[in-house]
Structure 1
Amino acid sequence: MRGSHAGGAAAPWVIDLRGTDPSALAGVRRWAARTVPHLGADHLNDVQIVIGELVANAYLHGGGPVRARLTALTTPCRVVIEVEDHWAAHPLQRTPRPGLYDARGHGMFLVHELADTWGVHEIPDSGGKTVWARLSCGNHARAPCP
């Protein structure tokens, strides 16, 4: 895994995930924590949960992730998470809470609950997609970032 910052205040940090397997998930969460250390603890925790769920979905349902991007905006305090994979199929949005015994649906339910909004952009050239989520700091559930 390699991460880099593309330069500029709001330019995305990118981590290449091609050829990795699900054992890379802990490293992705650590990378996110190193990338946006200025966030408040609640916001950073939510970012780590969401990027972990989106990357896990790419392994399970997307033919494996290609790359993940984090873009941190300071005004307003917001983080955009993007995970690109190889498959065009979109994740299912589960707004009702999945049942205790449901095997699936918990990850995107968490993304739906923690993100201000999320969606999917298709990548026509590759046949894949980018699943993105936007998380703002200082909302009803998170303290403002320092």
Structure 2
Amino acid sequence: MHPFTKVVAGICDEDVSTLVLEPDEQAPARARRFVAERFAAWEVTDDHNGQVIVSELVTNALLHGEGPIVLRVFRDERDSLPTIEVWDGGAGRPVVRQESLTAIGGRGLLMVAALALDWGTRPLVEGGKLTWAKCGL
């Protein structure tokens, strides 16, 4: 391990891939490509769930957050599972809405909850929030 590499909460920072996204309509597509490239580097052959999850989390940050969107993708050292984190500067916290057959939107976090092995959100000390999801292999 490089002497400047830290291990924090089970994450080795030399294995973390980070992408800063402008909050525009291209952000979800760029995030999907980024996850696909990272999963391919890890030889994860099925990246579908990871791409859906990152698309939904980045779209939420785009629609409900503020400022640039920071995407981090890494393998958790505790279980080697891919984990996706999305940070934004918005104060609100993501909320899973009840399923509605008539609503046009509002299903993103339902999909994340269904596809991810685990997920959650937390406020950041410096402001904003982080939403994360752990993907299966």
Same-fold call, TM cutoff 0.5:
yes
- Map 1:98-113 onto structure 2 (within 5 A): 98-113=99-114
Amino acid at match of 2:71: A
Find the counterpart in structure 2 of residue 133 from structure 1. Answer: 133
For 1:69 and 1:118, the matched residues in 2 are separated by 14
Which residue of the partner structure matches residue 33 of structure 2? 30
- Aligned AA (1:108): L
1:98-128 Cα shifts (integer Å, max 9, x gaps): 2222133210000010011111121121x20
| Cα distance in 2 for residues equivalent to 1:31 and 1:116 | 20
**In 2: Cα distance, 1:112 partner to 1:78 partner:** 16
Aligned length: 126
**Per-residue CA shift, 1:55-110, capped at 9, x if unaligned?**
0000001124421000124874411110000112111124x5x2222133210000
Structure 1 gap segments, 5+ residues each: 1-5, 138-146
Indicate the percent of aligned positions where both proteins have the same amino acid.
Answer: 31
Judge conservation of contact 2:56–2:112 (CA < 8 Å) in 1.
yes
Give the superposition deviation at 1:26: 1.3
Q: TM-score, with normalisation over the residues of structure 1?
A: 0.75
- Tell me the distance in 2 between the aligned counterparts of 1:45 and 1:114: 10
| Counterpart code for 2:31 | V
Tell me the C-alpha RMSD between the 2 structures.
2.3
CA contact (8 A) 1:9 1:73 kept: no
CA distance in 1 between counterparts of 2:13 and 2:70 reads 20
The 2-side partners of 1:11 and 1:25 are apart by 22
Structure 2 counterpart of 1:93 = 96
